[in-house]
Structure 1
Amino acid sequence: MLKKKIFFIDLDGTLLDVGFGISASMSKKNEKAVVEASQKNIIVISTGRKYSKKVEEIAKKTQAKYVACLNGSYILNPINNQILKEEIIQNYLVKDIFKIAQKQKISFSTDNAKHLFGQGLQNQILAFITSFKSFQYQDFKTENAHKILIMSISKKKIVKTFYEIKKKYKGVVSLALVAKGRAIEITNKNATKGEVVKFIANLENFDLENTIHIGDSMNDASTKNIVGTLIALKSGSKNLKKNSQ
């Protein structure tokens, strides 16, 4: 008899396989597959997205028992919206990382609002692509955040910024290169998809070997050496595929 498993499933580029970005949706084929899996297993939505009505609806359609949002910055029960775990980035860190982005002249956002702070035409273009509202750097007001998103058209600037933040705040924040190297997701060091696996497995009293994570980008890579099986989508990040099974 097959052992019961916990499936951790990413949204964008994975479960949401129709369309792109804010308009991405789940195909009937994917919905059917996950619902079937939920009959004898536990389903967890594990996403970089903020919790929203759309995420809540996906959780209900797939019969997910848990939802982990913003790469594990908070984990909740979608039935009653009870928050089970929450991790934040303190405002002084938000301010420092904002200054680094400003110095590099790249765009900056937090999960607090769909506002993108930057300068010039590049910020306006990125805001349009991501359905954010464009603001100037001077409009930014510092407050605690669950996730920071930094983006640029220039991969070179993103890589430089990634390593600057990684070096300066090693052991304080978690970073992931996403959007094919044009963006950085930053969360509290205890907010990763790998930490989500450990938390839920412990909550459900499951051996980690009976867990499976399915994703497509480098924010899924934190599950390596934690999850029992890491599955990367064929269309996903080359680096993630190197780390998957």
Structure 2
Amino acid sequence: MKKISKPQTIFIDLDGTTLDGKTKGKNQNYFSNQNKQIFNELKEQNINVVVSTGRGDLPKTWNILKTANSDQNCILWNGSKVYANGKLIFEKSISNELVVNMINFARRSKISTIVNSDFYNKTYPTTLLLKTILKLLKGKINRYSQFNYKEPIYKLIFMHKNKKNLFKFEAELKKLYANDLEIAFSGKNNSLIEVTAKNCSKGNAEKILSNYFNWDLNNSYHFGDSMNDASAKNVVNKLIAMKNASKNFKIQADFVSEFNYKKGGFAKTIKKYFEMTEE
């Protein structure tokens, strides 16, 4: 394959794509030195590197972004918040009515929920396994009967250990709310359902940010690993899947890297497929 000429912008997912290190004994993820080095090399070539993630506007996320000097321009909660030059330029939460309906539906279906990507503090578990995990990690076990409908909710994550139940729940959500919400699978082997407000997708957020800076989307690329990255298809020039990506996302992607995200897979992909300097 001929190398891709120098891009203007590269949008990167975190988990399963570029966030390839994890502290043993702690649930702390980080970028490997290989990936941090390639971020710096890209920026030295005046290539914009923008994090486009499902992670939320939380201290843990900002700490990760700062380690890569990527906290000024970023996309959070799959596009529910967009930052440019450190300023919030787009924000949209899910309507209260839709939140109430979905939470009641999840409760009836015995589906667990994570609110605003805050696993430790805002998980509503329905299984003994998830409750046990939360206890071991010293997280909070919430009950649906005490759900806080007053806070702005930018993203809901639904999960269940039984894949059949989860797929059935996702199908029903789309049947009821396809015109009102963005609904996508994520996680390893489509183990999670992520829901955001309508038009809060990575693809739409990348349009918003590119329009703000007058970046050329035809000279932009998106790296990801799951179906919440698929919205960038036909928005950027090429949608690139890591080798470890979900089967459905690989089908959507324009091409698949030969490298798994671990051990600097993103850096290896850039070096193999992209020209780093102008010819």
State the alpha-carbon separation in 2 of the partners of residues 224 and 130 from structure 1: 37
1:223 aligns with 2:232: yes
Residue 79 of structure 2 corresponds to 72
State the alpha-carbon separation in 1 of the partners of residues 10 and 242 from structure 2: 15
State the alpha-carbon separation in 2 of the partners of residues 175 and 161 from structure 1: 11
1:166 aligns with 2:169: no
Residue 90 of structure 2 corresponds to 85
Cα deviation, residue 126, structure 1: 5.5
Residue 197 of structure 2 corresponds to 188
Cα deviation, residue 112, structure 1: 7.8
- Determine what percentage of the aligned residue pairs are the same residue: 33
Cα deviation, residue 204, structure 1: 1.8
Q: For 1:12, which of 15, 40, 62 is the aligned residue? A: 15
Residue 47 of structure 2 corresponds to 41
Cα deviation, residue 4, structure 1: 4.7
State the alpha-carbon separation in 2 of the partners of residues 131 and 228 from structure 1: 43
| Runs of 4+ with >6 A deviation | none
Cα deviation, 1:212-240, whole Å, max 9, x if unaligned, reads 10111111111111111111111111111
Equivalent residues of 2:125, 2:141 under 8 A apart: yes
The correspondence of residues 1-245 of structure 1 with structure 2, limited to 5 A, is 2=5, 4-19=7-22, 22-39=27-44, 40-64=46-70, 65-77=72-84, 81-111=86-116, 114-125=121-132, 127=134, 132-143=139-150, 144-179=152-187, 180-245=189-254
Residue 53 of structure 1 aligns to which amino acid in structure 2? P
TM-score normalized by the length of structure 2: 0.80
Question: Aligned with 2:21: secondary structure?
Answer: coil
CA 1:227–1:129 in 2, change beyond 3 Å: closer, same or farther? farther
State the alpha-carbon separation in 1 of the partners of residues 137 and 218 from structure 2: 37
State the alpha-carbon separation in 1 of the partners of residues 136 and 221 from structure 2: 32
Residue 18 of structure 1 aligns to which amino acid in structure 2? G
Structure 1: runs of 5 or more not aligned: none
Equivalent residues of 1:232, 1:240 under 8 A apart: yes
Residue 51 of structure 1 aligns to which amino acid in structure 2? D
Bigger-Rg structure (1/2): 2
State the alpha-carbon separation in 2 of the partners of residues 130 and 231 from structure 1: 34
TM-score normalized by the length of structure 1: 0.90
CA 1:4–1:112 in 2, change beyond 3 Å: closer, same or farther? closer
Equivalent residues of 1:6, 1:44 under 8 A apart: yes
State the alpha-carbon separation in 1 of the partners of residues 117 and 231 from structure 2: 24
Q: How many pairs align?
A: 242
State the alpha-carbon separation in 1 of the partners of residues 164 and 59 from structure 2: 36
Equivalent residues of 2:96, 2:149 under 8 A apart: yes
Cα RMSD of the aligned pairs, angstroms, is 2.2
Equivalent residues of 1:102, 1:118 under 8 A apart: no
State the alpha-carbon separation in 2 of the partners of residues 201 and 67 from structure 1: 11
CA 1:60–1:75 in 2, change beyond 3 Å: closer, same or farther? same
State the alpha-carbon separation in 1 of the partners of residues 147 and 179 from structure 2: 26
Structure 2: runs of 5 or more not aligned: 255-279
State the alpha-carbon separation in 2 of the partners of residues 157 and 91 from structure 1: 25
